[in-house]
Amino acid sequence: MADIANIYKADNSRYGKMKYNPAGNSGLKFPAISLGLWHNFGSKDNYDNMKQMLRTAFDSGITQFDLANNYGPVPGSAESNLGKIIEEDFRPYRDELIITTKAGYDMWDGPYGDGGSRKYLMASLDQSLKRMKLDYVDIFYHHRMDQGTPLEETMQALADIVKSGKALYAGVSNYNKDYTEKAMHILKELHCPFIINQRRYSIFDRTIEQDGVKDFCKEAGIGIIAFSPLAQGMLTDKYLNGIPADSRIGRNSVFLKEDALTEERLRQIAGLNQIAKNRNQTLAQMALSWILRDGGVCSVLIGASKPSQILENISVTEYTDFTEEELEQIDKICR
C-alpha cells in the first residue's frame, strides 16, 4: 500500500513563480530557468536527493528537464533515474513537462553507437524512451556536429522521428552558425519543426556571440537554450577562499580542473562577485541574469547538487536588467 504522506502533489502556485519565453518562433514556451540532469543524476548519486531536486524544480515553475542518452555515470543512468521518478511522482504531470534528450556522443561499443547516422539516432531514442518509461520526448536533439555523416541523413532521421510521434520537435546542440543554417533549410523542406539550438554560453564563454550563432538564431526564429552558464562553477563564489571538498574540483571532476583557477581567473571572479553584491545578487544569480539580459536566449540550463541551489537561482528572472555601466564593468573585468 502506498505511503500517502509521501505522495507528491505539486505546488498550486508554481506557475506564478516562473517566466516563460517562446522557443524561437514556435508556440512552445520554455521556462526561463530549466534543469539539466548532466550531473548528479547518475548511478552513483543519491536517489532521494534527485527526487527532491526535481520536486523543488517543478514546484518552482521549472517545467523543462534536459537529458542526453549518455548522462550518468554510467551512461543512461540519468534517464533511468528520471524514468523511475516519473513513475513515482510525475506521471500525473507529464503533459505539463518538457522532457528532452539527445544523441550524438559515444554511447555504446562499435561503429553504430556514436555520431549522426540514422541507425544511431533512431536506436538511441528507442533506448532512451524505454529508460524514461515514456511514449515520446518533447524535443530530440542531435548532440553534436558530425562531419562523418551527411547532414541530410541526420536531419532526415530527426524529421522521421518527429513524424513518428516519438518526439514533438527537433533540436540541435553544439552546432555552429553554418551547420545551424544548413540544418534549418533541410528541416524546413522536410516540414519538421526545428525550434532550438543548445549551446554553451556564459560570461566567460561568449563563443555564440563571436561565431554569429546568437544573432543568426534570433533572426531565423530559432531559440537558444544555454548550458554551462556558471562555467562549471567558476561563476560562483565557492572558489574565492580555496577549493571546497564538495566542489567539482574537490571531487576531481573531469570537466573542471584546479589549473583552471589561475590568478587571473580568480581576480576576475572576485571582481564579478563585487558587481553582483552591488546588485544584491550572488555571483551565480548575476551570471544567470546576464545570459537572459537581452532576450537572445529563451532559457538557461542550470545544474544542481541540492534543492537549495535551485531555489537560489529561480529568482533571477526578476533581475535581468543591467545598466550600461554594469555591462561595461563586466566586459572590462573579462577582457
237 CB contacts (<8 Å, ≥6 apart)? Answer: 269, 273, 282, 283, 284
Residue 12 belongs to some domain of the structure: no
Three cell numbers written together for 104: 550524438
Residue 238 belongs to some domain of the structure: yes
Percent with pLDDT over 90 in the chain:
88
Residue 230 belongs to some domain of the structure: yes
Per-residue model confidence as pLDDT tens digits over 221-266? 999 999 999 998 899 988 887 665 555 554 555 555 566 788 899 9
Residue 124 belongs to some domain of the structure: yes
* Confidence check: pLDDT of 23 > 80: yes
Which of 193-197, 205-209, 255-259, 290-294 has the weakest average pLDDT?
Answer: 255-259
Place of cell 553507437: 113
The secondary structure element, H or E, covering residue 126 is: helix 118-132
Alpha-helix runs per DSSP H in 198-294:
207-210, 213-220, 263-278, 283-291
* Confidence check: pLDDT of 4 > 90: no
List phi, psi (to 5°) of 176: -80, 180
Percent with pLDDT over 70 in the chain:
93
Residue 192 belongs to some domain of the structure: yes
Three-class DSSP category at 80: helix
* Mean pLDDT for the stretch of residues 86-92: 97
Chain-centre distance for alpha carbon 82: 15
Peptide bond into 73 cis (omega under 30): yes
Q: How many domains does the chain have?
A: 1
Residue-number span of the structural domain to which 239 is assigned: 27-334
Residue 4 belongs to some domain of the structure: no
- The CATH number covering residue 145 comes to 3.20.20.100
The secondary structure element, H or E, covering residue 196 is: strand 194-200
What is the pLDDT confidence band of residue 5, given thresholds at 50, 70 and 90? Answer: low
Say what the pTM is: 0.93
Residue 36 belongs to some domain of the structure: yes
Residue 226 belongs to some domain of the structure: yes
* Confidence check: pLDDT of 3 > 60: no
Q: One-letter amino acid identity for 116?
A: G
* Mean pLDDT for the stretch of residues 65-92: 98
Per-residue pLDDT at 6? 79
